[in-house]
Amino acid sequence: MSNRFRSTIAIVLAIALVASLAALGGCTNSEDNTEGTTGDTEGAVKGGTLSQFIVEPFAITPTLAYESEGIYIVSALFDSLVEYDPITSEIGPAAAESWSANEDASVWTFKIRQGAKFHNGTEVKAGDFKYAWERMLDPEMASEISYHLLSVKGATEMLDGAATELEGVKALDDYTLEVTLVEPYPDFELVVGHPCLGPLPKDAVEADPKFDENLVGNGPFKMAEPWAHDQYVKVVRNDDYYGDEPNVDGIEFKIFKDAETAFLEFEAGNLDFTEIPAGRLGDVTAKYGASPDGYTGNPDEQVLTGPELGIYYANINNTKPPFDNVKVREAICLAINRQAISDALFDGSRKPADSVSPAGILGYEPGMWPESRYDVAAAKDALEAAGYPGGEGFPTIKLLFNSGSYHDQVWQLVQADLKTIGINSELESVEWAVYKDKLKKKEFDIARYGWVYDYPIMENALYALFYSTSADNQSYYASAEYDAQVKKARNTLDLQERLAGMRDAEKILGKDMPVAPIMFYSHFDLTSSRVNNFRYSPMNIPDYSHCWIAE
């Protein structure tokens, strides 16, 4: 089953990739390779240490890491059961050689690769996955990312403290892992590709109280020394690795407080991968050259602006009048000039959002939200249909966002757009803590919101953000029709039918417009002129194994 699955995914992804690349004006060879693509590795040389800018992570252990900084390090140190291709996000074997599901995709069996070792020399066995997953669900750890495992039978019971063992996960023998789910979930094979769902060596974890800062993993790199807080995390090549041996000797994740300082270090020749400072895309591209596909960095093709799987949107409080009126939400959706926002802040590199599912995701189709476009006349009509001709009688609303970053500028533009159709608004620029507080207490009209996908599946956002009982549903949209459609699609076995079902769910959203999509995130990053074939995926995971450094 999984092979059929994977080849179908591969074909669809290849088509989507070619289409999106054609749209970008680039060209590349896309090969259908279930082992994962390696990029153009011709002329690869060994040696050198890659240095990368990160901010101080909250955690670098797979049990707790949730931000991209932590996940960079986790992905270098650990291999999950399957792994995502850095360009297509297609899955291929990693710690598991093969896998299969029962007929309704509620029980999954993973064959663990024999002979693969942890960095301390012990062999990776099925039980190490069970241990790692149980650690993530342990109430003592209080992991914020335990949601990854909620589809597994017994996960909720463990979180609640009602069970001390993860009932749904069994090591049938050293090399066979059986996972029983709460309900059929054909996309589960994509969930287990998340870098934080790798195995942990129980003995090493229990022997070292500081294990989470000096990790022992099973990935292509191992830690050179414990995490030096606010300074660096150093990893070196794992010579005992079962897969493709990395070309670089190691990676130094240099921790900076400020991207501007990191950029100066980049200019001084001391960094290989960093962020582009806001507003500098134009001159940086002129100097360093754009990457043709937006994901792969090579000398003179160093600027990466490929779309990411993530969305920035205006979160509308659906429970509060007048926003409970769909025509009002439609007017807001039509009033926002998304291209102008992208042009003003990101030199046009971020794509205007035409739904909540980004173009790079499997199953995407343009035009699922017909009203997610810029049309002032239609917006005025919608506002009139809602009973507020020219904005007459419409209350002055508040636009809530956390100050700093680029949000202030985005919302000034949105404010001006709303003014054009007759809606007066005030900017409510508050610090992060206050922003979170107001969202939680539903004390907002329209608020900034962002979502980055955990797995390359439409359902990841459609379920989390809009299912009526989901904790992440911050627009408080509730539709029985939508809930039923998402749930049905989620359980559908056939890939094409499932994707069609997800699109149907998205179209219900397109009709109800619970939020106003603004733009899809995209990379805003830069590689140095000595780095070749550095691939930074749409899911923000760099491929450290196939890049190389040429002095």
DSSP letter at 16 equals: H
Residues 236 and 47: beta-carbon distance below 8 Å: no
**Stretch touching other proteins by CB under 8 A, among 33-41, 73-81, 353-361, 449-457:** 449-457
Q: Which of 215, 195, 216, 124 is CA-nearest to residue 544?
A: 195
**Could you give the CA distance from residue 243 to residue 91 in angstroms, rounded to a whole number?**
15
CA distances from 445 to 43, 114, 308 (A): 56, 55, 28
Q: How far is the CB of 230 from other proteins (least distance, A)?
A: 4
Q: How far is the CB of 418 from other proteins (least distance, A)?
A: 23
Q: Max Cα separation, the chain?
A: 72
Q: How far is the CB of 117 from other proteins (least distance, A)?
A: 28
Burial label, 292 (beta-carbon count in 10 A; 0-12, 13-18, 19+): middle
Residues 307 and 358: beta-carbon distance below 8 Å: yes
Asked if 174 touches other proteins (CB under 8 A), the answer is no
Its sign, for the CA torsion 313, 314, 319, 322, is negative
Count of residues in contact with other proteins, rule CB under 8 A = 47
Residues 239 and 265: beta-carbon distance below 8 Å: no
Of 440, 484, 494, 496, the one binding other proteins by CB under 8 A? 440
Of 18, 183, 229, 245, the one binding other proteins by CB under 8 A? 229
**Could you give the CA distance from residue 125 to residue 170 in angstroms, rounded to a whole number?**
12
Cα 158 → chain centroid: 26
Task: Enumerate residues 57-96 that contact other proteins by CB under 8 A.
Answer: 58-59, 64, 66-67
Q: Which residues, in sequence order, are CB contacts of 161 under 8 Å at separation 6+?
A: 139
Q: How far is the CB of 446 from other proteins (least distance, A)?
A: 16
Q: Tell me the two tokens of residue 263.
A: 């950029």
Q: Which is nearer to other proteins, 35 or 431 (CB)?
A: 431
Asked if 432 touches other proteins (CB under 8 A), the answer is yes
Q: Which of 479, 486, 421 is CA-nearest to residue 459?
A: 486
Of 436, 468, 496, 497, the one binding other proteins by CB under 8 A? 436
Of 8, 109, 122, 147, the one binding other proteins by CB under 8 A? 147
Asked if 419 touches other proteins (CB under 8 A), the answer is no
Identify the three-state secondary structure at position 411: helix
Q: Which is nearer to other proteins, 323 or 453 (CB)?
A: 453
Of 209, 377, 433, 551, the one binding other proteins by CB under 8 A? 433
Beta bridge partners of 233: 253
**Could you give the CA distance from residue 328 to residue 384 in angstroms, rounded to a whole number?**
9
Site track for other proteins across 243-272, x = CB under 8 A:
-----------xxxxx-xxx-xx-xxx---
Q: Which is nearer to other proteins, 245 or 426 (CB)?
A: 426
Of 33, 324, 450, 496, the one binding other proteins by CB under 8 A? 450
**Stretch touching other proteins by CB under 8 A, among 153-161, 388-396, 482-490, 507-515:** 153-161
- Write out the residues near other proteins by the rule CB under 8 A: 58-59, 64, 66-67, 139-140, 142-144, 146-147, 156, 159-160, 212, 228-232, 254-258, 260-262, 264-265, 267-269, 431-434, 436-437, 440, 449-451, 471-472, 474
